[in-house]
């Protein structure tokens, strides 16, 4: 057999194998779609009396986005749905439902996210009679944490203990794994109903326009103010409270979130980034890129992420109590810029760092807000400027009467900064001052918002 004949036979075998692969993929997709249509039809038949509940427990908004995508699929298949945050769900509503789909994030080391903390305390404290409920759980998590998908697993276990019947085993998603999310979507109907757009938008190149060290001489790690502009095109829109994700070439599956410290009207996207240094002297992957590797004029891939749970939506006209530490000033600064532009001056900033001489971040701007009345009250807490270590939670307790008076006037609370220490301490202080009932009401009504990490 000649070499030409061998090549021809080889090419034919390759084409045949490829055709067989395509046929297998097509057949699998038809089976998945047929199963999804049958399941969606069953959902529709079962839900004539009541809609299917699509419930989300979110920290930064991903669970909410997936919940709305799921709802669009079900509606396209003819199934009536009702989308709710878990904190808005009471025992009576869940007890009367025949079908519920849960999209549940986990916060920290296995805790309920802010969007489910009230539900976990009020409803999950004891079993319910849910024998007529069929359900499914999509648990979102990150295997870098010890209690991976801890809240989703706890929710699934509680539902089963209450007599509810799962449609299938709890589906766990590691860091937005596309295959796991696709498996969830395939259950509820034609995925064309949710579109093919990336809900967070595509990554695009942004140019580093400016970088400024804010805490020269500090005993802590360096903190930089970075200004970025689109490499091409107009400045996109975002709201105060939103996030930006930075893509890192060495770890593309795990983009890093940063709070945006500016508004689109400022003409640049600003970040406050603390340079992370590992014990061996190497810099953190994302913070090292932003604070050291990039030079002015270089580009970095980023995308905007709406963070609806930390926006001012619904709280625009309320007094605001803004609490944070370190680079958490970023999200609070954006809110204060928005309030200043809107002429809203009933703002109270409680902010903590190490030493006033070196760590008073954005000092000129903050003092100008105080002088102009944008800040009705300012409490800067520097932990190392006195023998006794003081933190923002201590200042809240010291100002308990004032804090309670602001809450009685309808104030909303925004907390931005470190989860360990600061955020947990502030949470405990607020519960002590406000009491459990008012604290739960603050969370349930969207008056207690957090962007913590």
**Residue pLDDT tens, the chain, 453 long:** 444 443 433 444 433 433 343 344 334 444 434 444 444 444 444 444 479 999 999 998 899 999 999 999 999 999 999 999 999 999 999 999 999 999 999 998 899 999 999 999 999 988 899 999 999 999 999 998 889 999 999 999 999 999 999 999 999 999 889 899 999 999 998 787 776 545 567 899 999 999 999 999 999 999 999 999 999 999 999 999 999 999 998 887 788 999 999 999 999 999 999 999 999 999 999 999 999 999 999 999 999 999 999 999 999 999 999 999 999 999 999 999 999 999 999 999 999 999 999 999 999 999 999 999 999 999 999 999 999 999 999 999 999 999 999 999 999 999 999 988 999 999 999 999 999 999 999 999 999 999 998
pTM: 0.83
Strands 204-213 vs 223-230: parallel, antiparallel or unpaired: antiparallel
How far is Cα 379 from Cα 370, in angstroms, rounded to an integer? Answer: 11
Show the tokens assigned to 393. 């939670």
The CATH 3.40.50.360 domain(s) of the chain lie at 14-194
Sequential DSSP letters for 300-340: EEEEEE--GGGS-TTTTTS-EEEEEEGGGHHHHHHHHHHHH
Strand pairing class (320-325; 299-305):
unpaired
The domain 310-452 is placed in CATH, from the list 3.30.565.10, 3.40.50.720, 1.10.3210.10, 3.40.50.80, at: 3.40.50.80
119 CB-near residues (< 8 Å, 6+ apart): 57, 86, 87, 89, 112
Calculated CA dihedral for residues 64, 416, 440, 83, nearest 10 degrees: -10
Beta bridge partners of 48: none
State whether residue 187 is helix, strand or coil.
coil
Rounded Cα–Cα distance for residues 309 and 94 (Å): 23
CATH number given to 204-306: 2.40.30.10
Asked if CATH classification 3.40.50.360 holds for the domain at 14-194, the reply, yes or no, is: yes
Question: Distances from the Cα of 177 to the Cαs of 139, 143, 211, 284, in angstroms?
Answer: 11, 11, 33, 23
Q: What are phi and psi of 392, to 5 degrees?
A: -60, -35
Distances (CA, A) of 157 to 63, 114, 117, 123, 326: 19, 20, 17, 14, 38
Angle of CA points 99, 114, 96, to nearest 5°: 20
- Residues near 9 by Cβ (< 8 Å), separated by ≥ 6? none
Span(s) in the chain for CATH 2.40.30.10: 204-306
Residue 325: CB atoms within 10 Å: 26
Q: Between vectors from CA 351 to CA 349 and to CA 354, what angle results, nearest 5°?
A: 160
H-helix or E-strand containing 413?
strand 412-417
User: CA–CA separation, 36 vs 187, rounded Å?
Assistant: 5
| Domain ranges in the chain with CATH number 3.40.50.80 | 310-452
């Amino acid at each position: 057999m000649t070499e030409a004949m061998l090549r021809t036979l080889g090419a034919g075998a390759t084409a045949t194998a490829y055709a067989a692969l395509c046929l297998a993929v097509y057949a699998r997709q038809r089976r998945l779609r047929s199963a999804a249509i049958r399941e969606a039809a069953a959902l529709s038949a079962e839900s004539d009396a009541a809609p299917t509940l699509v419930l989300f427990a979110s920290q930064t908004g991903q669970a909410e986005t997936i919940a709305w995508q799921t709802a669009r699929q079900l509606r396209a298949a003819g199934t009536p749905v009702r989308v709710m945050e878990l904190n808005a769900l009471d025992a009576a509503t869940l007890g009367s439902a025949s079908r519920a789909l849960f999209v549940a994030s986990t916060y920290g080391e296995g805790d309920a996210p802010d969007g489910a903390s009230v539900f976990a305390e009020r409803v999950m404290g004891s079993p319910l009679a849910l024998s007529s409920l069929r359900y499914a759980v999509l648990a979102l998590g990150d295997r870098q944490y010890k209690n991976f998908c801890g809240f989703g697993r706890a929710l699934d276990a509680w539902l089963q203990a209450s007599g509810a019947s799962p449609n299938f085993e709890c589906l766990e998603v590691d860091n937005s794994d596309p295959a796991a999310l696709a498996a969830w979507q395939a259950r509820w109907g034609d995925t064309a109903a949710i579109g093919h757009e990336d809900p967070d938008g595509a990554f695009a190149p942004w140019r580093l326009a400016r970088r400024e060290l804010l805490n020269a001489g500090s005993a802590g790690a360096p903190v930089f103010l970075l200004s970025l502009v689109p490499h091409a095109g107009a400045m996109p829109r975002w709201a105060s409270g939103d996030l930006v994700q930075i893509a890192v070439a060495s770890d593309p599956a795990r983009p890093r979130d940063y709070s945006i410290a500016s508004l689109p009207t400022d003409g640049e996207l600003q970040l406050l980034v603390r340079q992370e240094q590992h014990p061996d002297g190497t810099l953190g992957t994302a913070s090292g890129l932003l604070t050291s590797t990039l030079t002015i004029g270089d580009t970095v891939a980023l995308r905007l992420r709406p963070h609806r749970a930390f926006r001012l939506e619904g709280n625009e006209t309320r007094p605001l109590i803004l609490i944070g530490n370190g680079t958490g000033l970023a999200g609070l600064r954006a809110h204060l810029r928005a309030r200043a532009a809107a002429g809203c001056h009933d703002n109270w900033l409680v902010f903590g760092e190490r030493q006033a001489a070196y760590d008073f971040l954005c000092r000129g701007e903050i003092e100008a807000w105080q002088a102009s009345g944008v800040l009705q009250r300012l409490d800067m807490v520097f932990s190392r400027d006195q023998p006794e270590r003081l933190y923002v939670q201590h200042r809240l307790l010291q100002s308990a009467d004032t804090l309670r008076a602001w809450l009685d006037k309808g104030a909303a609370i925004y907390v931005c900064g470190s989860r360990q220490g600061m955020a947990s301490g502030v949470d405990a202080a607020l519960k002590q001052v406000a009491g459990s009932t008012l604290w739960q009401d603050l969370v349930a009504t969207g008056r207690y918002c957090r962007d913590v990490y």
